[in-house]
A and B are shown apart, each in its own frame.
Chain A
Amino acid sequence: MSDKILLNSKKIQIILQRLACQLIENHGDFSNTVLIGLQPRGTYFAERIASILRDDYHVKNIKLGKLDITFYRDDFRRRDEPLNANSTEINFLVEGQKVVFIDDVLFSGRSINAALTAIQSYGRPAEVELLVLIDRRFSRHLPIQPDYKGATVDVINEEVVVVNWSNDTLSDAVYITNKKKK
């Protein structure tokens, strides 16, 4: 394997704690804030952040949802492979709330663009912020930047940043791999 480890589980734990603290700094008791993990991979990350807020910082009433953006993507019919949807679970009102989108890797910004459209189907948020674990700089197609980021990486387009979440957190890892050649 020519995969290069960017972050190991220890570093990821430190980053998650920092991101949780930054969220508390800006959102207090989270009474007007909702966390939305973006399907498919942002949802694992969002669950991690939510559990740290709950267990380590005793924030009660964390509202956590999952948003699928498949039907809002701008590359429908433009990809070789069809897009299959994931589930959306938003069991609370978004109207007037501060929404924090949570995703693992920010690359072109197109997913976030789709998510900004998708979230409006659930109401008009007071504001929307973006939290990502990895910010791939210099690869943006749209003027979208994260409000909170775990780490910044510079990789070439042919490489993929993969975030691996494990059940016990001990094998969490972020690594760079080459795109699969067909």
Chain B
Amino acid sequence: MKTLSVPNLLGIKHLVKEDIDLIFETADHFKEVINRPIKKVPSLRDITIANLFFENSTRTKLSFELAEKRLSADVINFSASGSSVKKGETLIDTVNNILSMKVDIIVMRHPDVGAHEFLSRHVNTKIINAGDGTHEHPTQALLDSFSIRERLGDVAGKKVVIVGDILHSRVALSNIYALKLQGAEVKVCGPVTLIPKYIESLGVGVETDLRKALEWADVANMLRVQNERMDIKYFPSTREYTQLYGVNKKLLNSINSEVTIMHPGPINRGVEITSDVADSDQAIILNQVENGVAIRMACIYLLASQIKQ
């Protein structure tokens, strides 16, 4: 019988290959569950989960909430706007107050890098990272790899290029860790200003020419330009960015190999990806969303199994 090697899901960096295999095996079963006429299992009927979102989220929050409800957990939601955080309450105080209401698992998104690590050292509960600043977004990386595995059969040996704003992307970092752990080859592609200086130390290649990157790749994961995290101007104009790093049908058709297109959302149609690509069979964007629920069910289930009665 297998269990995760970690007590919390803080980031892919802390996982081993066997953890990812176990999460995928479990997610396979949950994917079957969410396609049944009745999509709910009673496993977590005595578990309470708090979703703490200190930063905006649509699909991740919905996906987690749905995953929790499909597992029959009791769910409470918290968003920083309109909470006591605005009145000056510290993170530890906020979380401890929630935990005194007998909450078993915390799912948290926070704008500060390392907020989850910090919290895990100060509170006694299970923590799942739903995104911390520009650092990690482990469940997104897991669902991305799961979707690659589903489409291409395996992740090992596949060539994946992550295109766009690598500098501000937690999706990129978690994906790099996850893909490397599973034996994929990874390149990042984007304007040099949006590629972190020492990214190659993670064992990934850098390509600034999108066409060359796509010709090399089996999979292209297109990232959104995160204007909200940019303190300075990293490229001259959105129009220029789109011309150099936006993927469109004409570009894809001119490439010999079939590249699978992914996007973690939200999409800026016409900027990093055009509608004819996003809505094509080449794109697995909606599969990623569906798989997100199964992956999150698996992560929650496996962590909950460590909480002894």
Q: Point out residues on A near B: beta carbons under 8 Å.
A: 68, 70-73, 76-78, 81-88, 117-118, 120-123
Point out the residues of chain A lying under 8 angstroms from B40, CB to CB.
121
- Bound-complex Cα distance A123 to B25 (A): 25
Which residues of the other chain, B, contact A88 by a CB distance below 8 angstroms?
Answer: 29, 32-33
Candidates B1, B42, B307; contact of A84 at CB < 8 Å? B1
Size of chain B's interface in residues, with CB distance under 8 A?
Answer: 29
Instruction: Kindly list chain B residues whose C-beta atoms are within 8 Å of the C-beta of A121.
Output: 33, 36-41
Q: A72-B42, A84-B2, A121-B40 known; 10 other A-B pairs, CB under 8 Å?
A: A77-B46, A77-B307, A77-B308, A81-B1, A83-B1, A83-B305, A84-B1, A84-B25, A88-B29, A120-B38
CB-CB under 8 A from B46, the residues of chain A are 77
- The CA-CA distance from A82 to B309 in the complex, in Å, is 12
A78 touches B33 (CB 8 A): no
In the bound complex, residues from chain B placing their C-beta under 8 Å from that of A77 are 46, 304-305, 307-309
Question: How would residues 199 to 236 of chain B score, 1 for a CB under 8 Å from any chain A CB and 0 otherwise?
Answer: 00000000000000000000000000000000000000
| A117 near B1: Cβ-Cβ < 8 Å | no
Residues on the A chain within 8 Å of B28, using CB: 87
**Chain A, Cβ-Cβ closest to B40:** A121
A88 to B308, CA, bound (A): 26
Taking the closest CB of chain B, its distance from the CB of A65, in whole angstroms, is 12
Alpha-carbon gap, A76 to B306, bound state (A): 10
Name which residue of chain B comes closest to A114, CB basis: B42
In the bound complex, residues from chain A placing their C-beta under 8 Å from that of B22 are 84
What is the interface of chain A mostly: helix, strand, loop, or mixed? loop
Is the C-beta of B3 less than 8 angstroms from some C-beta in chain A? yes
- Can you show 13 pairs from A to B with CB atoms below 8 A apart? A71-B42, A71-B43, A77-B304, A77-B305, A78-B309, A82-B2, A83-B305, A84-B2, A85-B26, A87-B29, A121-B36, A122-B36, A122-B37
Q: Which of A73, A81, A117, A121 counts the most B-chain CB atoms under 10 A from its CB?
A: A121
Q: In the assembled complex, which residues on chain B have CB atoms less than 8 Å from the CB atom of A123?
A: 37
Contact: B307 with A87, CB < 8 Å? no
Q: Are B305 and A82 in contact (CB under 8 A)?
A: yes
Q: Separation in Å of the B309 CB from the closest CB of chain A?
A: 5
Chain A residues lying within 8 Å of B305, measured Cβ to Cβ, are 76-77, 82-83
Contact of A117 among B39, B42, B71 (CB under 8 A): B42
Q: What is the CA–CA distance of A73 and B72 in the complex, to the nearest angstrom?
A: 13
A72 CB contacts on chain B under 8 angstroms: 41-43
Q: Is the CB of B29 within 8 A of A68?
A: yes
Report the bound CA distance from A151 to B305 in whole Å.
35
Question: How long is the Cα–Cα vector from A83 to B2 in the complex, in angstroms?
Answer: 8
Chain A residues in 8 Å Cβ range of B26: 84-85
Q: Scoring B residues 123 to 157 as 1 if CB is less than 8 Å from chain A, else 0, what string do you get?
A: 00000000000000000000000000000000000
Q: Known: A77-B305, A78-B309, A84-B25. Contact between A71 and B2, CB under 8 A?
A: no
Instruction: State A71–B37 Cα separation when bound (angstroms).
Output: 16
Residues of B within 8 A of A78 (CB): 308-309
Complex: A168 Cα to B241 Cα, angstroms: 65
Q: Which B residues between 42 and 62 are near A, CB-CB below 8 angstroms?
A: 42-44, 46
The residues of A that contact B304 with a CB separation of less than 8 Å are: 76-77
Shortest Cβ distance from A85 into chain B, in angstroms?
Answer: 4
A76 in complex: contacting residue of B25, B32, B43, CB < 8 Å: B43
What is the bound-complex CA distance between A28 and B29, given in angstroms?
34
The 8 A-B residue pairs with the shortest CB-CB distance, nearest first, are A71-B41, A121-B38, A81-B1, A85-B29, A82-B3, A82-B305, A71-B43, A78-B309
| B146 CB, min distance to chain A CBs, angstroms | 16
Distance (whole angstroms) from the CB of A118 to the closest CB of chain B: 8
Bound-state CA distance A78–B46 (Å) is 12
CA distance A122 to B39 in the complex (A): 9
The residue from A73, A83, A87 contacting B32, defined by CB atoms under 8 A apart: A87
Q: How far is the CB of B15 from chain A (nearest CB, A)?
A: 16
In the complex, chain B residues whose CB is within 8 Å of the CB of A73: 43
Chain B positions within 8 Å of A83 at CB level: 1, 305
- Chain A, residue nearest B42 (CB): A72
Q: Is the CB of A122 within 8 A of B3?
A: no
Query: Which chain B residues in 269-303 approach chain A with CB under 8 Å?
Result: 301-302
- The CA-CA distance from A160 to B36 in the complex, in Å, is 34
Smallest CB gap from B70: residue in A: A71
Q: Measured between alpha carbons, how far is A88 from B37 in the docked complex, in Å? A: 14
Q: Which residues in B have their C-beta under 8 angstroms from that of A120? A: 38
